[in-house]
Structure 1
Amino acid sequence: FFLQLEKRLYPFLHLKHRTSFSLQDSYRGKGFVLCAGNNQFKFIVSSIQAIRRLQPDLPIQLFHMGDGDLSRERQEYVREMTNDIEVLDITEFLDNDYMKLGGWSIKAFSLLASRFEEAMLVDSDAYFLQDPAKLFEDPGYKATGSLFFYDRTLFPDWHSGPDWIRSMIPIMSTLPNQLRSFKGISTHEQESGVVVINKKTRLNGLLAICKMNSKWERDLHSYKVFYGDKETFWVGFEMVQEPYSFMRTYGGVVGELRDDPESVCGAQLHLDYLGQPMWWNGGLMRNKNEGVQRTLDFKYWMAG
């Protein structure tokens, strides 16, 4: 009965593992999980270099969706960049007939497919200012087996997301009612540029996250209600009533001082639990989406 139920809930799981228990038993150690296709290649190269300068020892797994997503030449380039790095096709680990991966959805499934017991998901354009392994020692992570980061406070009076969550999860923990999105202060709650999960203790939460990022669920519900994968992490944990923690500070900014001396323009910055700059998201350029790009001047920062 359990196996039949699991195959209905998580049909993507059984390409290489008979049950979630055998998958869970295979996890070992700590490491970094990254995802990239050809469009993210220019970011991922410098991101890997930055990780290795600060943390030379922990292994890295880079996932893609096949040679059409990340060319073989670029796969080989990454393999030769540094020690202890694997470049892997996620469709060889999980069944893409059910996942139908594309865009943001690969992130959660890469966390699931990675070989690490304690896994840190890192966006291709996320850069650390301290040894990222320090996040495995964060008090919130140690207490709950998970660590999420708040997004910037933007776009108030958004009600469709919280209303949908309440309709789907009538009994929740005490945390959602404390969130900015539930108070009508901000549309975005979580920033998924860095996510830390202990998969031995919080696999059920991760499976729920993956469920929300599967093709049918994301097209019909989650990606219509949320901006991509962001909120699926904490909402997935709420779905299965597993504990989770957010870093205590909101998203800040690092970059250049504006004419107003109390304003900084730049990339989104995140602090550690001691209030010190830990990492930022958005790459090295002032605007990564501009045709003519200029490097951001990282002189000033403000907490969120």
Structure 2
Amino acid sequence: MPGSLARFRACFERSPRTVVLFVVIVIALYVGIRDIAGDAIIETLDSHYPANEPLRDILRTARNYHRHPVEPPYKDKFWEVGQRSRNLSRWLAELNGPWGSQLRGFEKERLGTAIETTATSLFPFLSPPPPKQGSKTPLRDLQRSFTKDSRGIVIPAGGSDLQIRFAGHLIASLREVFGCSLPIQIAYAGDSDLPKERRDALLSFDKTNNTEFLDVWTVFDDATLRLRRKGWAIKAFAALASRFEHVIVLDADAVFLQSPEVLFQQRAYVENGAYLFHDRLLWQHSFEDRHEWWKDQIKEPSPAMNKSLVWTEDYAEECDSGVVVLDKSRTEIFVGLLHIAWQNTWAVRDEVSYKITYGDKETWWLGLELAGSKYEFEEHYGSIVGWEKEGSPDDKAVCSFVIAHTDEKDKLLWYNGSLLKNKLVDPNGYEVPLYWMMDGKWEKGGKKDMSCMVGETRRRLTGEEISILQHSIEAALRVDEVIASMKES
């Protein structure tokens, strides 16, 4: 032993730097568990064989994220996930930009590894399901699955018979009434969610043969999603998994008065890459805890947030997520969608997202906001299409069970709630609305009592709009006949 110590001392005196490096590596290998040892080695190598300084900063930050992952409870972690998302977005942009092109091969490889480890640590759902597990680049694999410059519609349509029926109505209307040529993907979560006979039925409603299916479980492992328990949650993952770069996500009960193709032409979408629609202005100052949580997690509101009456005047709900339009080719929008999807994972939605707000609605703008993504809402808060007030036809109100939305020229574009007058009460009660109103005051009803809007000009639907809805109802009735015959056979 004394001889060994003497030799070690002599070696140290000859080359102290080499010995220090050797000792650090040995200690790291000895005491390290999982990635800690690897991190220590990399840090030591960085100090002796440095990459360029900006890259070193990125690698240091990525290692810190990996050592300190975001863990439950999640209620106070939304801001932190947003900050990490912003860095992820910046690193992706730099990797694919002029700076990244100047990196040496091993530097680019290390940056790519830092991006992937950060992404999978932050968004565990990126790890693919069996048998695809094992990929070291799941984030890049997902991005490469998008068809460049593609545009299309995604309709989540699994679950209940009513969802299948409404999806059939929507497909028939888009193809037969509008002649919409955009490809359609029907999203679902496994065969039990949308059995083959139902998939075949939905295909039959598209006479253009331009509808395909997207089983979200083939892209993401359901262990973190648990989509069977919450139907809304699939929407964000369907948007993320879709092959379309420019994607329109539609609720099955959406009703259009213009072809969805015009959504890609709206200035708000062209300029920002994310286009959202407002909910109704309701229940001002009624959800103090919700607003306190938003303010705690948002901290530094964007210009888009500062235009929000929910943010500035304490109204209850911001977003009607029945239609969402996203450009996933833009890195910041893609990463914002990752944040949205994170909010819809089982652990987060069960603890926070669906407890503080109603379903997936607010996750869309909140994910984009916190990730630093550009986005824009329609100019007006939710409008209404409907009928005169029952028993009081002269008070100039418009009443119904739906929320309507306009395009950038204030022309009716779509509304939610299906072609039925009240989908929750009368499954056969088709009726074309006659009036609409925007920017009025809402008088909230219930499941059986219509809500009304008052205080602004009551407008009549145009002859063209009425004709569109009449033809959409005719197409829906044909769909109903097919579905009825399926049940009888």
TM-score (norm 2): 0.60
**Structure-1 separation of matches of 2:140 and 2:364:** 21
Is the contact made by 1:268 and 1:281 (CA closer than 8 Å) also made in structure 2?
yes
Bigger radius of gyration, 1 or 2? 2
Alignment correspondent of 1:245? 376
Q: Offset of 1:22 from its aligned partner?
A: 2.9
**Secondary structure at 2:121 match in 1:** helix
Q: Which moved more, 1:226-235 or 1:179-188?
A: 179-188
Q: Which amino acid aligns with 2:214?
A: L
Partner of 1:48: 171
Please give the residue correspondences for 1:38-117 in structure 2 after superposition, counting only pairs within 5 Å.
Answer: 38-39=159-160, 40-52=163-175, 53-82=177-206, 83-101=209-227, 102-117=230-245
- SS of residue in 1 equivalent to 2:384: strand
Residue of 138, 141, 151 corresponding to 1:19: 138
Counterpart selection for 1:30 from 151, 170, 173: 151
- 1:297 match: 432
Q: Distance in 2 between matches of 1:227 and 1:297?
A: 29
| 1:177-196 equivalences in 2 (<5 Å) | 177-196=306-325
Cα pair 2:159 2:231 within 8 Å, conserved: no
- Alignment equivalent of 1:275, drawn from 396, 410, 415: 410
Q: Which moved more, 1:274-283 or 1:61-70?
A: 61-70
Is 1:170 matched up with 2:332? no
Contact 1:38/1:71 (CA < 8 Å) preserved in 2?
no
Identity of aligned residues (%): 36
Match of 1:198 in 2: 327
Q: Which amino acid aligns with 1:66?
A: G
Q: Which residue of 2 aligns with 1:264?
A: 398
Report Cα offsets for 1:44-65 as digits up to 9, x if no partner. Answer: 1101111213143110000111
**Aligned equivalents of 2:141 and 2:251: distance in 1?**
28
Q: Assess if the C-alpha contact under 8 Å between 1:208 and 1:236 holds in 2.
A: yes
Which whole-Å deviations, capped at 9, do the CAs of 1:222-260 have from their partners, x for residues lacking one? 111111110111100111111101111221111211224
The one-letter code of the counterpart of 1:200 is: S
Distance 1:71 1:248, change over 3 A: same
TM-score (norm: length of structure 1): 0.95
Give the gaps of 5 or more residues in structure 2.
Answer: 1-113, 440-489
Query: Compared with structure 1, are the counterparts of its residues 200 and 185 closer, same or farther at alpha carbon in structure 2 (3 Å cutoff)?
Result: same
What is the CA–CA distance in structure 2 between the aligned matches of 1:292 and 1:203, rounded to whole Å? 38
Which residue matches 2:246?
118
- Distance in 2 (CA, whole Å) between partners of 1:135 and 1:184 is 28
Deviation sequence 1:121-152 (CA, Å, 0-9, x none): 01000011111111101101111101000111
Query: Is the 1:30–1:59 Cα contact (8 Å) retained in structure 2?
Result: yes
Determine if contact 1:99/1:215 at 8 Å carries over to the other structure: yes
Q: 2:274 aligns with which of 136, 146, 152?
A: 146
Deviations 1:147-185 (A, max 9, x none): 000111111112222211222232221332332222345
Measured in 1, the distance between the counterparts of 2:123 and 2:179 equals 34
Question: What SS does the aligned partner of 1:254 have?
Answer: strand
TM superposition outliers: structure 1 runs of 4+ over 4 Å: none
Report the Cα distance in structure 2 between the residues aligned to 1:209 and 1:173, rounded to whole angstroms: 17
More displaced stretch, 161-170 vs 246-255: 161-170
Tell me the C-alpha RMSD between the 2 structures.
1.6
CA distance in 1, matches of 2:323, 2:180: 18
Matched residue type, 2:357: F
| 3-state SS of paired residue (1:222) | helix
Asked if the contact 2:387–2:399 (Cα under 8 Å) also holds between the matched residues in 1, the reply is yes
Q: CA deviation at 1:85?
A: 0.4
Q: Which range moves more in the overlay, 51-60 or 268-277?
A: 51-60
Distance 1:35 1:272, change over 3 A: same
- Letter of the 2:174 counterpart: I
Pick the aligned partner of 1:160 from 286, 289, 292. 289
- Secondary structure of the residue that 1:195 maps to in structure 2? strand
Number of the residue aligned with 2:423: 288
Once residues 384 and 438 of structure 2 are traced to their aligned partners in structure 1, the CA distance between those partners, rounded to angstroms, is: 7
Structure that is richer in strand per residue = 1
Q: Which runs of 5+ in 1 are unaligned?
A: none
**What code does the residue aligned with 1:272 have?**
D
Match of 1:135 in 2: 263
Q: What letter matches 2:122 in structure 1?
A: L
Judged with a 3 Å threshold, the aligned counterparts in structure 2 of structure 1 residues 55 and 144 are, in CA distance, closer, same or farther, namely farther
Tell me the alpha carbon deviations over residues 206-233 of structure 1, each in whole angstroms, 9 at most, x when there is no partner: 0010011111111111111111110111
After superposition, the C-alpha distances for 1:53-89 in whole angstroms (9 at most, x for unaligned) are 3143110000111222222211111123212101222
Contact 2:304 2:375 in 1 (8 A): no
